[in-house]
Structure 1
Amino acid sequence: MKLKSRIGQYLQANLAVFILIVFIFAAGIISGALGINSLSQQQQLDLLNYVDTVLQGSGDWQVDSLGLAKTAVWSNIKLMLLIWFLGLTVVGIPVVGVVVFLRGAVLGFTVGFLVQEKAFAGVLLTILSVLPQNLIFVPALLLAAISSVAFSLQLLQGKFSRGLVLSQYLLGYTVLFGVVMGVVSLGGLVEAYISPAFIKLIAVYF
């Protein structure tokens, strides 16, 4: 509860950055959803056939959950490490924005396509196999991006006049990212162990 309160205070103190990052992510989601219309009919058909093939073959899956978990967790951690590093560079602020936008676009495209092409089955797929890990990953991503941009802005504005203050802030910044990496690791485990099980369940009925 204390950690949650501190995060709330931190976000409030960086409200402008918070609004900017959320706006960029929302713009990514909208762009991804609208991007479906830019696909040709053949591209949409090919993608739909791929989804159908995955669903139809899911019952015979022999999922290497441990291997999938390692890949998903490490992928998430590498992304957080990149965002952490970009926060130290000052010039990385636009790159953080691009990362957030692209993750939003991928999510928007995935959800939009499933719902548009698979109707009720697409809604179920979204709720049971896309949202679980993203309900964990997305807030962590946004917090990481906000922290990265806020730290860069502090450096850019020269607010660290003493080495001790900078070292303390850097320590807090790094500890926060340690927590974030723990959270996204949990998201990776959900993606590896829970989402495939839900896909198998849905495929039985559709």
Structure 2
Amino acid sequence: MRNFRHMIKEQTPLYIFVAVLFLVGVVFGALIISALTMDQQQELSDYLGNFFMTVDQHGLPAAPESFWSIAGLHLKWIGLIWILGLSVIGLPGILVLDFLKGVLIGFTVGCLVSQYSWHGLLFALVSVAPHNLVVIPALLVCSAAAIAFSLLMIRSRVTARRPLRVGRPFAMYTLLSFVMALLILGISSFETWVTPTMMRWVTPSLVQATAEYNGQ
């Protein structure tokens, strides 16, 4: 536990860096909405309207298959970040993944808000925000640890006069990624069985907003 606290304290600047990079991605993703053409916005509006209609009438499947699909998607991000952290050339890839994750979140929330105003914001709060309050910090912690280990590998191979011992840092890095993966499995359960119910509470207002928009 003391080693983990020391590692987290040392990596605080990296946490700040990856968090800022993620936020820049969120802003960029939100700004993409304004760059869409009218036809693209209409297609997006039609897709969202059909999706909300489906959720309102039939709900979303809450089954073990859905759980492993959701968990697998999140775990792939964790695993890819872990693999990229093992190599020097993987360092830029970690930064790209953090930025891309921010873009995806920003674009999703931006679409909902631009199309449905506060109704869209409410839907984002129940469908996007809850699990991402855990998923995003877990990904950023893994990213900071991966960057730190990658920098250690660079220092070991390039700048150090003698090779540094990387066995213990590797074990700490792998253990941290494993703990974050377990956390992801836990929040994936919430996303599978709780989030669909919360979404169905909100979708009637979105279906009504869609009908009013199409009737204008």
The answer for the alignment partner of 1:100 in structure 2 is: 98
Give the drift of 1:65.
2.6
Candidates 34, 46, 60, aligned match of 1:49: 46
Q: Is residue 34 of structure 2 the alignment partner of residue 37 of structure 1?
A: yes
One-letter code of the match for 1:112?
A: G
Runs of 4+ aligned residues of structure 1 deviating over 6 Å after TM superposition are none
The answer for the alignment partner of 2:21 in structure 1 is: 24
Deviates more, 1:174-183 or 1:15-24: 15-24
C-alpha contact 1:48 1:117 (8 A) present in aligned 2: yes
Aligned mates of 1:155, 1:35 — CA distance in 2: 36
Pair 1:39–1:14, CA change in 2 (3 A): same
Q: Cα RMSD (Å) of the superposition?
A: 2.0
Aligned mates of 2:60, 2:117 — CA distance in 1: 27
| Number of aligned residue pairs | 202
Q: Greater Rg, structure 1 or structure 2?
A: 2
The answer for the alignment partner of 2:214 in structure 1 is: none
One-letter code of the match for 1:185?
A: L
Residue deviations 1:132-178 (CA, integer Å, cap 9, x gap) = 11011000000000000000001101169567x42111111111011
The answer for unaligned runs of 5 or more in structure 2 is 207-216
The answer for the alignment partner of 1:120 in structure 2 is: 118
What secondary structure is seen at the aligned counterpart in 2 of 1:92? helix
The answer for the alignment partner of 2:198 in structure 1 is: 198
The TM-score with structure 2 as length reference comes to 0.86
The TM-score with structure 1 as length reference comes to 0.90
The answer for unaligned runs of 5 or more in structure 1 is none
Aligned mates of 2:161, 2:110 — CA distance in 1: 44
Aligned mates of 1:74, 1:56 — CA distance in 2: 27
One-letter code of the match for 1:57?
A: T
Deviates more, 1:73-82 or 1:10-19: 10-19
Aligned mates of 1:111, 1:205 — CA distance in 2: 17
Pair 1:30–1:200, CA change in 2 (3 A): same
One-letter code of the match for 2:59?
A: W
What secondary structure is seen at the aligned counterpart in 2 of 1:157? helix
Identity %, equivalent residues? 27
